[in-house]
Homo-oligomer: A and B are copies of this chain.
């Protein structure tokens, strides 16, 4: 049963049809296992822009309310899981849109990190910055060989907010997490496995999804309500921190992004991307 989020939204009601970005994710539920696979499909690199973030939120909410047995996050792109935040949202931003953008990112994290269903990421490509945030917000990670993952914000002249650190620290020892954050380190698949940033390696996307399904299957004999409450209690302090500081977190981001030096850096980075694209 493959259905696009758009179809789902149509069924849910007109009040959510405002999102024309619905095509940027698909949700496929496996009839046998009851596990939903949420696929990001925004070419070329699953850059997290406002529309993709809104659709991710809606898809996560949908999976949550449909009482799926679990959620597997993956990408339709064969070499990129997600390239992270779409820099075009941050460079010379529209005042209203950038607020909606950051608020949507907060929404996605709160929904995914706090999801009551078991979550796993089938990381079938590179996963820098926001891509790593999404992956580490899941409970389990299976990654394909020869890709990289990490919070490389400092390499881009950006500061990962506290809640990026929360997800990172939920899987990595503190010493390794801090150093990687400061360095903006990208881990190869092998390095990520060694430090615990990912849990398993798979050779194909299908195998990755199978391994994610097996992890979610490990909860088969567990009471779902008790599991959900246990997970949420474990993550409560992290979630509460952002809930309490959403406005300040937004203002901090806006202040930082609007610094001339940051704008200049983003501009140069975009230039370099364009040159790469031409060559």
* Chain A interfacial positions (CB closer than 8 Å to B): 118, 139-140, 153-162, 165, 169-175, 177-179, 181-184, 196, 218-219, 221-223, 225-227, 229-231, 233-235, 261, 265
Contact = CB atoms under 8 A, between A and B. Distances in A.
Given A165-B234, A222-B182, A173 B173 contact: yes
Given A173-B173, A175-B196, A196-B175, A155 B234 contact: no
A226 B172 CA distance: 21
Contact of A174 (B170, B182, B229): B170
Contact of A230 (B139, B153, B170, B223): B153
| Most chain B beta-carbon contacts within 10 A, residue among A175, A184, A233 | A175
Q: Can you list the 9 inter-chain pairs with the closest CB atoms, starting with the nearest?
A: A157-B223, A154-B226, A159-B229, A154-B222, A171-B175, A154-B227, A157-B226, A178-B234, A159-B230
A157 B153 CA distance: 41
Given A156-B226, A171-B175, A184-B222, 6 more contacts: A154-B230, A155-B223, A173-B173, A181-B231, A182-B227, A183-B222
Given A175-B170, A179-B139, A155 B221 contact: yes
A219 B181 CA distance: 11
A192 to B, nearest CB: 13
